[in-house]
Chain A
């Protein structure tokens, strides 16, 4: 069997994998980045909204090629149609640009390649290679050929359906209450407010929300997520979305250019996302914002920290937790508090009925919120609806 040797094999060439590969490779690590699909970035499984603030931090150079639309802000719509606008700078993590993941993911992979990473497409990991009780690489099928990729570390950047973590014995299992199941159309021929990312709350998408993220003046990503325990019938997500579109005046004449299904984790941070010789990043590490279901920024930030930790491992020759603890510490310092707070807020939000959600959106728009964050929102809610937030007051 053909064998490939490298320092680090990264499984999955989404944002998390490419960022990890880039930050490791540019610091001298010999990286192989494998991707099971035949094209990086396609098919798209994402609403494609991002904010602008974090790109500098992780060294992503803005390229107009991957920007679909510049967004003025976010628009929150309550169940009875009460609307609240927030400008882009204050609207939180998923608002700023709507990107083209087909180009965005390729740009990140290009950065990884430029840094020295080798990319293998149509290469799916099929299992881990173990030596003396330690992970020593991955078995894979590459263009139909069974191969072994021997490496000092395996990075699982293999998304929601991650196998690397499970194979390595890292507990990434999810409770039904921490899974949003989603459906989305790229909908064209629509009339809508193409300058705002719209979030529709309430029973249009039980336990989640409907999003309308503008791609062009007449085309948007229109999708929704439903919390698993609130699903009643087979195929509810698609059914709810079709119903929402049919009942929304500007959307009902829309025609689909693409349909996407998927699931996203909205859980509390995991206890651990690495063991000796194995690191998980991005969706695979459940580093998704539990309120928005957005993961691009978190994946890139975590990927950068993972890549840096791998560079240190290469330097010291120690690919165990001695070195990887730095990755755990760094991503948690940067993201963990927010993930916890948003998960607890989500746990509460999903229990609210339409009337309460209506009154919440009204309260927020009356009081006004300087910067939209879950922390600020909770503080406002505390004033008018103290009963809703008393269980997690210490987070405010």
Chain B
């Protein structure tokens, strides 16, 4: 996953929507752990387009 942290509002929409509980968010960073199966739901849900799937057009 590519995180555009400068776009991120730290709102947690991705965290609550992740079926794998693979996202960790605090005041300064957003991280994915090894549970991420690249389902892409967080990418779609992010209200500001701060997430992007690696290797996808």
A228, CB-defined interface residue at 8 Å:
yes
- Which listed residue (B21, B43, B51) contacts A166, Cβ 8 A? B21
Cα A45 to Cα B26 in complex, Å, equals 16
Cα A183 to Cα B13 in complex, Å, equals 11
The smallest C-beta distance from A146 to any residue of chain B, in angstroms, reads 15
Residues of B in contact (CB 8 Å), total 23
Residues of A in contact (CB 8 Å), total 29
The smallest C-beta distance from A121 to any residue of chain B, in angstroms, reads 13
Whether the Cβ atoms of A179 and B12 lie closer than 8 Å is no
A64, CB-defined interface residue at 8 Å:
no
- Which listed residue (B16, B41, B47, B48) contacts A161, Cβ 8 A? B16
- Which listed residue (A124, A162, A238, A263) contacts B45, Cβ 8 A? A263
Cα A260 to Cα B46 in complex, Å, equals 12
The smallest C-beta distance from A301 to any residue of chain B, in angstroms, reads 22
B residues 1-43 near A (Cβ < 8 Å) are 7, 9, 11-13, 15-17, 19, 21, 25-26, 41, 43
Tell me which of A72-80, A229-237, A302-310 binds B.
A229-237
Whether the Cβ atoms of A235 and B16 lie closer than 8 Å is no
A160, CB-defined interface residue at 8 Å:
yes
Q: Residues of A contacting B25 with CB < 8 Å?
A: 161
Q: Residues of B contacting A259 with CB < 8 Å?
A: 9
- Which listed residue (B7, B11, B45, B51) contacts A179, Cβ 8 A? B45
The smallest C-beta distance from A256 to any residue of chain B, in angstroms, reads 13
Whether the Cβ atoms of A261 and B48 lie closer than 8 Å is yes
The smallest C-beta distance from A261 to any residue of chain B, in angstroms, reads 4
Q: Residues of B contacting A45 with CB < 8 Å?
A: 11
A262, CB-defined interface residue at 8 Å:
yes
> Which B-chain residue is minimally distant from A226 (CB atoms)?
B47
Whether the Cβ atoms of A237 and B47 lie closer than 8 Å is yes
Whether the Cβ atoms of A161 and B9 lie closer than 8 Å is no
A18, CB-defined interface residue at 8 Å:
no
Whether the Cβ atoms of A182 and B47 lie closer than 8 Å is yes
Cα A362 to Cα B2 in complex, Å, equals 46
> Which B-chain residue is minimally distant from A184 (CB atoms)?
B47
A270, CB-defined interface residue at 8 Å:
no
Cα A194 to Cα B29 in complex, Å, equals 38
Whether the Cβ atoms of B9 and A160 lie closer than 8 Å is no
Whether the Cβ atoms of B49 and A228 lie closer than 8 Å is no
A residues 336-368 near B (Cβ < 8 Å) are none
Whether the Cβ atoms of A159 and B17 lie closer than 8 Å is no
The smallest C-beta distance from A97 to any residue of chain B, in angstroms, reads 24
Cα A392 to Cα B23 in complex, Å, equals 37
Residues of B within 8 A of A (CB): 7, 9, 11-13, 15-17, 19, 21, 25-26, 41, 43-52
Q: A181-B13, A260-B11 are in contact. List 6 more A-B contacts (CB 8 A).
A: A159-B12, A181-B45, A231-B45, A238-B49, A263-B45, A263-B47
Residues of A within 8 A of B (CB): 45, 124, 159-163, 166, 173-174, 176, 179, 181-183, 228, 231, 233-238, 259-263, 265
Give the 10 A-B CB pairs with smallest separation, nearest first: A235-B49, A234-B49, A263-B13, A161-B12, A161-B16, A161-B15, A261-B9, A261-B11, A237-B47, A261-B47
28 contacts between A and B (CB under 8 A): A45-B11, A161-B25, A166-B21, A176-B41, A176-B44, A179-B45, A181-B45, A181-B46, A181-B47, A182-B13, A183-B48, A228-B44, A228-B45, A231-B45, A233-B49, A234-B43, A234-B46, A234-B49, A234-B51, A235-B7, A235-B47, A235-B49, A235-B50, A237-B47, A237-B48, A261-B11, A261-B48, A262-B12
